[in-house]
Amino acid sequence: MAKITLGAFVLAISFAAVLTVEPDMRIVGGREVDITKYPFLVSLRYRTTPDSSYIHKCAGAIYSDRVVITAAQCLMDIGPDEKLMVVAGANSRLGLDGMLYPVSKWISHASFSTWTVDYDIGLVIIDDKFDFKHLKLSPISIAESRPLHGKLTSVAGWGYREEFGPSSPHLEEVEVPIVNNEQCTQHHGQGEITERMICAGYASGGKDSCFGDTGGPLVYKGELVGLVSWGRGCARPNFPSVYTYVASLKKWIDDTIAANM
């Protein structure tokens, strides 16, 4: 099976194919949760024309008062007429709750590959500053080390409930155990998992992040461990999802922020 990535999903749907990671997804096997539990989680919404509505494409995590960390695939090939908005503090994927923050700049890692999905990380910089005081938003810090194999992490988003949809209108969360890179390689194949990736999921399947959760945070003990990146379907047995391992790219994050703010 092929990897599932953002752009591939649109093509797959066009040909009634199966796998691709598009940013209109939701949690599989999870439960509804209030955004106050994830005060750093945001929805990235796009508008393709001046007259169109903003629609949810990806998720991201607030890193500082003006910076959101997300997946590089969420920021690729944005057209000249396309506008990007960050929505913070929202429970609904389609509603008007939450605060809208216009985006001034977005940067994806120069080494990101849509083929390998390696270096799948990007930054979104908003025009103003997040209102941490009144909206109960807060940034999330980056975990310095990998959680051990089997440790439970959490991921939240507005993605698909099942591999082929539908999307969830409300925020949901699910807990998934870390799978070490050696075992993850056994599932996905030699050379597929790099040091910039971390895996999580159940051998039996049934619970997972999915299409539309892309770019959203994988959290362990209140710290950012990973970003929803790619997989082979959603919640399939023996195919743990693959996340960008954020700590491995922290220097790039900090250097990029310093160069662009």
Mean pLDDT of 240-250: 96
Q: Which two tokens stand for residue 62?
A: 């607030």
Which tokens belong to 120? 């799948």
Same domain for 112 and 88?
A: yes
Q: Give the pLDDT confidence of 35-47 residue by residue, as tens digits.
A: 999 999 999 998 8
Q: C-alpha distances in angstroms, 123 versus 64, 70, 158, 252?
A: 11, 6, 20, 10
Residues 155 and 220 in one domain: yes
In the chain, the number of structural domains is 2
Please state the three-class secondary structure of 58-71 as a single string.
EEEEECCCCEEEEC
The whole-number pLDDT of residue 216 equals: 95
Q: What is the pTM of this model?
A: 0.86
Distance CA 61, CA 75 (A): 14
Q: Judge if 162 and 118 occupy the same domain.
A: no
Instruction: Give the C-alpha separation, 8 to 13, whole Å.
Output: 9
pLDDT at 165: 54
- Are residues 174 and 233 part of one domain? yes
Q: Is 28 inside any structural domain?
A: no
CATH number of the CATH domain containing 70:
2.40.10.10
Q: Pick from 185, 146, 183, 158: which is nearest to 98 by CA?
A: 158
Answer yes or no: is 236 within a domain.
yes
211: containing domain: 151-247
DSSP 8-state assignment for residue 246: G
DSSP secondary structure letter of residue 36 = G
Query: With helix as H, strand as E and coil as C, how does 76-110 read?
Result: CCCCCCCEEEEEECCCECCCCCCEEEEEEEEEECC
Residues 254 and 235 in one domain: no
Confidence of residue 29 (pLDDT cuts 50, 70, 90): low
Residues 196 and 239 occupy one common structural domain: yes
How does residue 18 score in pLDDT terms, banded at 50, 70 and 90?
Answer: very low
Residues 6+ apart with CB under 8 A from 14: none
Same domain, 183 and 222: yes
Dist. CA 198–CA 176, nearest whole Å: 12
**Chain Cα centroid distance, residue 9:** 15
User: What is the overall mean pLDDT for the chain?
Assistant: 84
pLDDT at residue 259 is higher than 50: yes
Identify whether residues 160 and 131 lie together within a single domain: no
DSSP class of 144 = S
176 and 238 in a single domain? The answer is yes
Q: Once rounded to an integer, what is the mean pLDDT over residues 97-107?
A: 92
Residues 74 and 193 in one domain: no
The answer to whether position 29 is within a domain reads no
CA dihedral of residues 70, 20, 237, 69 (deg, nearest 10): 0
User: Does residue 218 fall inside a structural domain?
Assistant: yes
| Burial classification of residue 128, based on how many CB atoms lie within 10 Å of its CB (0-12 exposed, 13-18 middle, 19 or more buried) | exposed
pLDDT at 9: 37
Say if residue 239 is in the same domain as residue 255: no
Cα 253 to Cα 124, 149, 199: the distances in Å are 11, 26, 21
> What angle (nearest 5°) sits at the alpha carbon of residue 161, between those of residues 156 and 163?
115
Q: Is 31 within a domain?
A: no
* Position 8 in a domain: no
Type of residue found at 48: T
In the prediction, which pLDDT does 159 show?
72
Q: Is 9 a member of any domain?
A: no
Residues 229 and 255 in one domain: no
Q: Which residues contact 131 (CB under 8 A, 6 or more apart)?
A: 99, 137
pLDDT reading at 160 higher than 70:
no
